[in-house]
A = this chain, B = another copy of it.
C-alpha cells in the first residue's frame, strides 16, 4: 500500500451547484488525489466530500477547497438542519492502510496552521489531534454554532489552537483533526418494536455501559415493518464489527428476537472485513498481505 490518508471535509453549502462544483474541482483536479465520494444535502445545506491521497497533494487540495469555501460561503446568511460553525466546518483526516495515526495527526496540524496563516480562519484541533482531552469531541467544540462563536471564543477555555480568539467574519471557525475511520453499521431485527431496538441500542453502546467505540440508536424502518439498531463504530480496530453484531444478537435473544441482516453504509476499510472473516472462519495466522488486491495496490 502507498502511504495514503483519507479526508472527509464538510462544507456549509448543500444547495448552490456552482459553489459545490468549485469545491469538488479542488479534489478532482489535484494530481495524486482521488475524489472517492461526495454527498450534498439541501436540507442540511452541507457538502460532505470523501477524498484520499498522499499527505502532500491532499494538503494542497484541502487548502484550495477551504480557500474556495471562505471566499464563497457567508455563514451570516447560512441556514440548514445540520449544526455548523464554519464555511469549511470540519476536516477529519483518516489514516489508510500502512499510514499511522501519527502521520494523520501531523498532516492535520500542518493543514490547521496553514488555514490560519493563509485565510485567517481560527482552527480547533479535535479528536486524535486535540491538545487537550476537553477538545476531543466535535459536538463540544461546535456547541453554540456560528451564531454563538464570537461569545464562545472570548472564554480562555475556548481559545483556538491556531489563530486569534475572534471568528472569521463570514467563515467562522473550523475543526481539523485526525481520527479512525468511522463505520456506519446497522443491524436489522425481526420485530417492529422500537422499545426492543432501543433497549438493545442502549445495551451495546459505550454511553450506557456497552462497547467502548460504539454509538447506537434505534431506527424505525416503517416501510419494511421492522426496526434497526443503527451504529457508528468509531474505532473498528479496538471494537470490531463482529463483536457489535454478536452483542446485538445476544441481547436480542432475551426478547426472542432474531437478526434479519445487517448493512454497512458507505465505505469500509478492508481490514474490518478481514477481522470479521477471521473471527467467523476461525482463520489462524491470516495477514492482509495474503489478499491479492492489497498486494496489487502497492
Identify the A interface with B (CB < 8 A). Answer: 1, 4, 6, 34, 36, 52, 96-97, 181, 188, 241-242, 245, 259-264, 266-270, 273-274, 276-277, 280-286, 290-298
Given contacts A260-B282, A296-B297, 5 further A-B contacts (CB under 8 A): A36-B292, A97-B293, A263-B285, A267-B292, A280-B280
* CB <8 Å contact, A283 and B262: yes
A206, B280: Cα distance in complex, Å: 24
Output the least CB separation between A62 and chain B (Å).
17
Residues from chain B with Cβ under 8 Å of A276 in the complex: 276-277, 280-281
Main secondary structure of the interface of A (DSSP, over half): mixed
Known: A96-B296, A267-B291, A267-B292. Is A241-B34 also a contact (CB below 8 A)? no
Output the least CB separation between A244 and chain B (Å).
10
Output the least CB separation between A286 and chain B (Å).
6
A268, B286: Cα distance in complex, Å: 10
- Total copies of this chain within the assembly: 2
Output the least CB separation between A249 and chain B (Å).
10
Residues from chain B with Cβ under 8 Å of A4 in the complex: 296
Known: A276-B281, A277-B273, A296-B34. Is A291-B268 also a contact (CB below 8 A)? yes
* CB <8 Å contact, B96 and A245: no
Output the least CB separation between A48 and chain B (Å).
16
Output the least CB separation between A289 and chain B (Å).
9
Output the least CB separation between A88 and chain B (Å).
23
A214, B165: Cα distance in complex, Å: 67
* CB <8 Å contact, B292 and A264: no
* CB <8 Å contact, B268 and A6: no
Output the least CB separation between A54 and chain B (Å).
11
Could you name 17 residue pairs across A and B whose Cβ atoms are closer than 8 Å? A6-B292, A52-B292, A97-B293, A188-B284, A262-B284, A263-B285, A263-B286, A266-B290, A267-B295, A268-B291, A268-B292, A269-B291, A269-B292, A270-B292, A270-B294, A280-B281, A293-B293
Residues from chain B with Cβ under 8 Å of A269 in the complex: 291-293
Partner of A283 from the list B263, B292, B298 (CB cut-off 8 Å) is: B263
Residues from chain B with Cβ under 8 Å of A263 in the complex: 283-286
A291, B292: Cα distance in complex, Å: 14
Output the least CB separation between A290 and chain B (Å).
6
A274, B34: Cα distance in complex, Å: 23
Residues from chain B with Cβ under 8 Å of A277 in the complex: 273, 276-277, 280
Residues from chain B with Cβ under 8 Å of A280 in the complex: 242, 276-277, 280-281
* CB <8 Å contact, B281 and A242: yes
